[in-house]
Structure 1
């Protein structure tokens, strides 16, 4: 038999986490926890040399964070995917290749498919669709909400997660966003994650969020919100990059530079808050 103790903190405090880490062997957190640790001068390989595993979930971790964390500590963060209705559904392997930006493979006993949201039919490998999962991890339904249960839980047991993803030829699953975050501008589908990955790599950008904002002509328009790193980004340079490398219909109509993105207590970026905050951004604009 084996056992272990769990250490709960009332909130994430980087100083307290560093203080108790010497007494722990595993850490579970959201990406924000890891970026804040990397920003602290005391967080290094000597502090983490006894650790067995670092796990990240609840929100996608930037590939840059994966790389910086491994360079600093020698550990590869294990990223996985789950939700309240399904518990854990996928994970990168404990032993094997952990791919930055991917949430790995379906867990044993879990059936996962990526389907066309309109037809429910599986999409081709590499194409984007909605994740559906079935297995002993999936709940039986919403309490006293039969209509919502019928909408999201199919008769064959597959739960419609609402998360958009693709699966590569090796079976690794990559989350690209929530279905409700999909932007439809002028009849074209725009996946925010695709643009965010480009924006996050630009000089002067710490992280980004791409959202849909009402637009009189296009129905919805793309607004890019950038968190400044140091002196901040060169917007003209970013526009030139977009013009060169990205299809025109995907280009953000405008860019906003901020100090930070709104997050909930779990560290998840709250795009609903940003959509409300910037909902009238294009109402009197000719952009």
Structure 2
């Protein structure tokens, strides 16, 4: 089935309709090109310590040498990595990929139950974990197929004396490293020393080999491993780099990486696409420490930053952020959740740079749509399908709907995952016979080919038979100066089936429920107005700062 592609007419100059997927066979092939071109340039920096592309080359080869030469892992074996943004992450990830193995990214905040599920489901035989989270590994490792645990401290690669001080403070002053004992565990630095004895053998990696098992759906049910192949990731790197290429200067970029690299958005956009441009990735280990984050931004010259709405909102509300030097900043990319107009407009006012919204999923590696990089103002859209990508809106019967009508957003392109690991039924439910991935997001397309997310299918509120989309309610309430954060959910109601409830974190302590309802009456039709208003000190969020509406619904129920 062919579909109209009105978005091609809106592509910025120089962006091709199709990308060349076959230019690179694998992620290591792209990395090796960057090493040749930008060897002496800083690749990753964290807590004041930088590693060049040449150093990443050497260290990742050593880690690959350890996995193949010492542990005797075979092609396709899975290696779990459980850590926040630190220098060990890119070394380990590129080492695993160069060895022809598969990375299993693990959220370090996982509970023992969640970790066990992921390790058992993926069949990982090795796990690399930061000391702070090793207690969780200790609790479950005997119930998994993991045969080697590798541990590391946050300061281990920061050099002397800084690294020793960081490790001492975390363990003994801040008490952030619970005691643990894992029989046979090896230190990461020792794996590099041992791996240096084993030169990296020539390894054939094909497009169809699985690069990442990227777990998703943990907020909606049991987490499933999306099989992202080298082709999927290379395609998305080619698509995104073609899209943003006109705005960047290869070899001169520095991107702020505050979202965790174990999350698909930062992994591809920052860790891979900007690696292709020879950029420096400024790794922020704990972006929740907003004052510390702002201090870091004052220290570093940066040209690009990615984030989610709550991250940008948090920065804008942190004292000192407006004193940061934004003179080099040219790209701000928002994704992972809807960007709110109030936040986007304030970002533009403070930084002088438009907050460009993008859209993607773990299952699409992740970029599917991005707004033009030369966008003058926030437009409320998720943008246009990226090169070599088709998008359409379908009804419940699988029919493509005309422009302007709301239905489920479907995506087709080379970045769409191979499927879910060991879950053929789930794969068949997500990807139809024509190769369309059904996203579960309700959307519409305008006549120019811009797509607009109306809401998650599951989050939609049904009031007396009318569809109410939480994003719209949240946008309206977020316009109030006294509101810091807001989430809208449906709660059971005897008369209307469901009623709208808003949960708010106040910026102004004097804000009242009546003021919120009065503002809603002015801006929303009757059935969309919140019947219930609750104030909280904070909203429940995922590891990347996405607001968990499900948790709020469960609380209400």
Class of the TM-score when normalised by the shorter of the 2 chains: 0.7 to 0.9
Q: How big is each residue's C-alpha offset from its partner over 1:181-233, in whole Å with a ceiling of 9 and x where there is no partner?
A: 01123332221122222222234223321112223443332212222221343
Task: Pick one of 263, 269, 273 that aligns with 2:551.
Answer: 273
- What TM-score comes out, normalization by structure 2 length? 0.47
- The Cα of 1:70 is off from its aligned counterpart by 1.4
Distance across 2 between alignment mates of 1:23 and 1:95: 22
**SS at structure 2 position matched to 1:211:** strand
Q: 1:222 aligns with which of 483, 500, 514?
A: 500
Partner of 1:8: 283
Instruction: Using CA pairs under 8 Å that are at least 6 residues apart, name the structure with larger relative contact order, 1 or 2.
Output: 2
Q: Of the candidates 135, 157, 172, which is equivalent to residue 435 of structure 2? A: 157
Deviates more, 1:169-178 or 1:61-70: 169-178
> d(CA) in 2 for partners of 1:45 and 1:106?
36
Confirm or deny: 8 A CA contact 1:211 1:224 kept in the other structure.
yes
The answer to whether the aligner puts 1:91 opposite 2:370 as a matched pair is: yes
Structure 1's 170 and 15: CA in aligned 2 closer, same or farther, altered over 3 A?
A: same
Conservation of the 8 A alpha-carbon contact between 2:487 and 2:503: yes
Answering whether residue 390 of structure 2 is matched by residue 115 of structure 1, we say no
CA distance in 1, matches of 2:478, 2:552: 18
Which residue is 2:319 aligned to? Answer: 41
> Structure 2 residue aligned with 1:204, among 478, 482, 495?
482
Q: Does 1:105 align with 2:105?
A: no
Residue 180 in structure 1 maps to residue 458 in structure 2? yes
Contact 2:384 2:449 in 1 (8 A): yes
1:236 counterpart = 2:514 = yes
Structure with a larger share of its residues in strand? 1
Question: How far apart, CA to CA, are the structure 2 residues paired with 1:152 and 1:96?
Answer: 32
- Change in Cα spacing, 1:202 to 1:46, as seen in structure 2 (3 Å) is closer
Asked whether 1:58 is paired with 2:336, we answer yes
Rounded to whole Å, the distance in 1 between the matches of 2:523 and 2:532 is 17
Q: Are 1:204 and 1:234, in contact at CA under 8 Å, matched by a contact in 2?
A: no
Residue 281 of structure 2 aligns to a residue in which SS? coil
Does the CA-based 8 Å contact 1:105-1:172 persist in structure 2? yes
Unaligned runs of 5+ in 1: 280-287
- Name the SS for the 1:139 alignment partner: coil
- Alpha-carbon RMSD: 2.2
SS of the residue 2:420 aligns to: coil
Which structure's CA Rg is the greater one?
2
CA distance in 2, matches of 1:133, 1:244: 37
Deviation for aligned residue 1:151: 1.0
Is the contact between residue 464 and residue 496 of structure 2 (CA under 8 Å) also seen in structure 1?
yes
- Distance (Å, rounded) in 2 between the aligned partners of 1:176 and 1:200: 17
2:294 to 18, 22, 31: 18
